[in-house]
């Protein structure tokens, strides 16, 4: 009959059993030879991993983890503008917010945080990790470090002070105006020194009037009145290059006289008429006439009306250019670069044609009417004066 027994039921001879045992021991030996180093390696890995993990846990607890994970009380922490990373690290350690300032500094440098930390006022707790603190200090406190201010041509020192106060940049206009009135803190600027030593500084309302150059500036949010003034004064050199000094000398004028004339031009006309108004003033100065400028009286008296009364015209002030010949003691506002240029380069055709007068045609458009003779000018005044009076009424003046 056929044998249906399974292979494991096979009966082996003694020789076959010996050969199979020998073959099995060979494979066992070979397999152990392979697995033994792997097992040893795995044991070493486990041991080393345990040591590394224990070491990392110690390092993390000692340097990176929160100083006190249970202390969520917020601590005020400030970074002043220009503070170094070393100073920030020192201050954090002094307040007990980090474990070690040296580790903080080198870790910040390694992670690229060193150049990203921003000045500001922060709320930090001891429950924050070192990495969380770094993240916070690089995002800023929500208060900008810098901001822009825009000084408009034609503004006076008083206008500028009011603007800075309204923008929340300064707390009180008086300190700003006191610095502008005296000017002595800024005598290092040669044009301010010229004013202070010129003999008529005492006649001015503000020594720095006219030199707070109009422009848009970027300033620090915590800038002081002194710093803001220096920023504005510094721009004056940029808008008054050496070539202007040469031109002024050719005209027989000082820089201060040019700035003064430019400030009058700024107040009297729109940009398109600057050179023509300048020509009228130059012609009158050349004939030793009074300049007869309403804007100088308005500056000294504070009057806003277009139509000036006889009382206004007779005000006793060195800024009354109806009463006193020549230029007023100083500028009456901050002139634009265009007005300064016009003061130096009046309209040559108007100079040759001898224009001596102008008046406003339309208060809304700012258009001017120019005349050569007094008779022509008086006719123009009679024609346009009703428009000035209507304008004053509309403005509640």
Tokens of 124: 């930090």
Quickly name the fold that domain 74-139 has.
Dna Ligase; domain 1 (3.30.1490)
pLDDT, one tens digit per residue, over 187-196 is 999 999 999 9
Tokens of 15: 């020789």
Contact 335, 254 (CB under 8 A): no
SS (H, E, C) 69-113: CCCCCEEEEEECCCCCHHHHHHHHHHCCCCCCHHHHHHHHHHHCC
Mean pLDDT on 351-367: 94
Residue 41 has pLDDT above 90, yes or no: no
Contact 261, 251 (CB under 8 A): no
Alpha-carbon span 358 to 381, nearest angstrom: 9
pLDDT band at 5 (very low <50, low <70, confident <90, very high): very low
pLDDT, one tens digit per residue, over 142-188 is 566 678 999 999 999 999 999 999 999 998 899 999 999 999 999 99
Residue 2 has pLDDT above 50, yes or no: no
Residue 74 has pLDDT above 90, yes or no: no
Q: Which CATH class is domain 146-238?
A: alpha beta
Q: What residue spans define the domains of the chain?
A: 22-62, 74-139, 146-238, 240-394
Residue 3 has pLDDT above 50, yes or no: no
The pLDDT value recorded for residue 258 is 98
pLDDT, one tens digit per residue, over 240-286 is 999 999 999 999 999 999 999 999 999 999 999 999 999 999 999 99
Average pLDDT, the chain: 87
Closest CA to 88 of 74, 75, 102: 102
Q: Residue 120, by phi and psi: left (phi above 0), alpha (psi -120 to 50) or beta?
A: left
The pLDDT value recorded for residue 138 is 80
- 5-14, 15-24, 326-335: which has the minimum mean pLDDT? 5-14
The pLDDT value recorded for residue 1 is 44
Task: List the beta bridge partners of residue 76.
Answer: 123
pLDDT band at 301 (very low <50, low <70, confident <90, very high): very high
Residue 4 has pLDDT above 50, yes or no: no
**Across the chain, which distance is largest between two alpha carbons, in Å?**
154
Same fold for the domain at 74-139 and the one at 146-238? yes
């Amino acid at each position: 009959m056929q044998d249906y027994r399974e292979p494991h039921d096979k009966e082996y001879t003694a020789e076959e059993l010996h050969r199979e045992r020998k073959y099995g021991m060979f494979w066992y030996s070979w397999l152990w030879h392979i697995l033994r180093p792997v097992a040893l390696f795995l044991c070493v890995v486990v041991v080393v991993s345990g040591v590394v993990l224990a070491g990392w846990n110690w390092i993390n607890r000692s340097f990176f983890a929160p100083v006190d994970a249970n202390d969520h009380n917020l601590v005020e922490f400030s970074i002043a503008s220009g503070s170094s990373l070393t100073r920030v690290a020192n201050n954090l350690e002094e307040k007990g917010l980090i474990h070690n300032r040296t580790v903080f500094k080198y870790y910040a440098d390694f992670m690229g945080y060193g150049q990203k930390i921003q000045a500001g006022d922060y709320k930090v707790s001891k429950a924050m990790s070192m990495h969380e603190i770094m993240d916070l200090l690089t995002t800023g406190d929500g208060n900008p470090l810098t901001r822009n201010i825009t000084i408009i041509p034609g503004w006076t020192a008083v206008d500028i002070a009011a603007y800075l106060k309204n923008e929340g940049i300064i707390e009180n206009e008086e300190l700003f105006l006191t610095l502008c009135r005296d000017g002595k803190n800024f005598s290092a600027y040669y044009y301010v020194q010229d004013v202070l030593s010129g003999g008529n500084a005492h006649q001015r309302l503000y020594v720095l009037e006219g030199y707070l150059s109009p422009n848009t500036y970027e300033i620090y949010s915590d800038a002081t009145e002194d710093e803001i003034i220096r920023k504005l004064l510094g721009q004056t050199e940029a808008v008054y290059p050496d070539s202007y000094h040469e031109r002024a000398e050719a005209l027989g004028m000082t820089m201060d006289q040019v700035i003064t004339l430019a400030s009058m031009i700024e107040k009297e006309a729109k940009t398109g008429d600057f050179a023509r108004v300048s020509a009228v003033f130059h012609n009158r100065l050349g004939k030793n006439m009074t300049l007869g400028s309403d804007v100088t009286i308005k500056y000294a008296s504070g009057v806003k009306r277009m139509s000036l009364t006889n009382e206004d015209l007779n005000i006793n002030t060195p800024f009354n250019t109806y009463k006193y010949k020549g230029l007023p003691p100083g500028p009456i506002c901050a002139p634009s670069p265009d007005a300064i240029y016009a003061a130096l380069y009046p309209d040559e055709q108007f100079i040759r044609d001898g224009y001596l007068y102008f008046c406003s045609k339309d208060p809304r458009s700012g258009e001017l009417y120019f005349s050569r003779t007094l008779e022509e000018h008086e006719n123009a005044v009679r024609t346009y004066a009703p428009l000035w009076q209507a304008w004053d009424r509309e403005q509640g003046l």
